[in-house]
Structure 1
């Protein structure tokens, strides 16, 4: 895998540490009004880390495993504080959607391969967080598909199968994991966590953010905020504080 290597640690780097969000449309939309979990991360980590969105709407694990090397070659591994891999919403389409569907075991193998590639690039497994695909409200997603001239090929039970395989991948590879599917299904009104039956609503984004937060805080707790607080700047000699 082509990637930049650097022996310095994040804390020694002169660049801002990076939190890289890698996945499909739920990642691509993570700075939108509804799917705002990426924005929430950026707010949590302000002045500590850059939160970088590398989401690709409509992509599945079969395609993402092929582009991962190109996506991450711009980052020095020592500057990466954390990586999320959030895939499966498209893979878990039923086989009738042959363009996006990826068989379950192949999906799992791609997740494992992506973790291995990141490790080869110098990003340790402890910095990688796998996120399971969410539950799917087939009624709402079917209505959305109909409005947009598409057929619905989703099944919530199948989404749960892919979520379980994502969890297995994380266990086998020793990465972190957020089981978004299971946490959603614990709620009686879980459909309200989605804005169209598939993508996260604001409430769903808040749930995902809160599930991720302990993992994020653990990885970034020792990263210091860049530059002193304004109250600590010596106004009579700013160079002493800022240079």
Structure 2
């Protein structure tokens, strides 16, 4: 079956999975491209790049006719979990993280060279916010030390940017962008890691900026898949569809 609209795929961890929630960045993107592009959510809470590799053939099968026009790749928050604390099972060494990102980009580009792959760095970590969240959620069982630190996450964000430069694909540096705002911890992060509505808005606006650099992918330029109702002749409704064919 031929595609009626371009396909955008959002591939990532929980920050992507949650992006279709109220005021989420994925929902905003789907709304902006309503009737112009299909936005597919492929976010997997808790996943790191090691596990993401196991999904590549299923999420991005080698069928050229179904290759997406745009893919966001948003992993790293879990890879950056510290190996000696509560989320150690999610930790991926930084060298492997880089290699995994390269493999993800290569797989997607191998299916279609025209696919625009956009890497997104992990956001910064508010360690105080993570401790507050842990105590609120787990009470006395909460660990005293945060399972992630902003210092370590910075290294993964830089690795993501390095991969983007090496692979020749655009990148959104959330780690740096968020910290340009005063009180970014409360403004952009709901629990020290996941995004508030304002944080989601930043991701959405930055992604739209990337797409707007490619006029053929802008919401203004992409056509609607079928004529607006105002153009339909109510006495002979099929005529406009026959004319379009």
Q: TM-score, normalised by structure 2?
A: 0.87
Residues 60 and 14 of structure 1: CA distance in aligned 2, closer, same or farther (over 3 Å): closer
The answer to which of 184-193 and 23-32 deviates more is 184-193
Residue 47 of structure 1 pairs with residue 35 of structure 2: yes
Residue 102 of structure 1 pairs with residue 92 of structure 2: yes
Query: Which aligned runs of 4 or more in structure 1 are off by greater than 6 angstroms?
Result: none
SS in 2 for 1:148: helix
- Bigger radius of gyration: 2
On the 8 A contact 1:141/1:197 being kept in 2, the answer is yes
Match of 1:114 in 2: 104
The answer to which of 227-236 and 182-191 deviates more is 227-236
Corresponding residue pairs, total: 230
On the 8 A contact 2:62/2:111 being kept in 1, the answer is no
On the 8 A contact 1:78/1:122 being kept in 2, the answer is no
On the 8 A contact 1:77/1:123 being kept in 2, the answer is no
CA deviation after TM superposition for structure 1 residue 14, in Å: 3.9
Could you list the per-position Cα deviations for residues 138-157 of structure 1 after superposition, in whole angstroms to 9, with x for gaps in the alignment?
Answer: 11112212333354311011
Match of 1:63 in 2: 51
Structure 2 CA distance, aligned partners of 1:56 and 1:76?
24
Q: Identify unmatched segments of 5+ residues in structure 2.
A: none
1:205-224, aligned counterparts within 5 Å? 205-217=200-212, 218=214, 220-221=217-218, 222-224=221-223
On the 8 A contact 1:77/1:121 being kept in 2, the answer is no
Could you list the per-position Cα deviations for residues 1-55 of structure 1 after superposition, in whole angstroms to 9, with x for gaps in the alignment?
Answer: xxxxx9xxxxxx4432210000000000001125x00001001111011111000
1:1-243, aligned counterparts within 5 Å? 13-33=2-22, 36-73=24-61, 76-77=64-65, 79-96=67-84, 97-124=87-114, 127-149=116-138, 150-151=142-143, 152-191=146-185, 192-217=187-212, 218=214, 220-221=217-218, 222-243=221-242
On the 8 A contact 1:77/1:122 being kept in 2, the answer is no
Structure 1 CA distance, aligned partners of 2:236 and 2:67?
31
Residues 46 and 161 of structure 1: CA distance in aligned 2, closer, same or farther (over 3 Å): same
Q: Identify unmatched segments of 5+ residues in structure 1.
A: 1-5, 7-12
Structure 2 CA distance, aligned partners of 1:29 and 1:77?
28
RMSD of aligned C-alpha atoms? 1.9
CA deviation after TM superposition for structure 1 residue 171, in Å: 0.6
CA deviation after TM superposition for structure 1 residue 232, in Å: 1.7
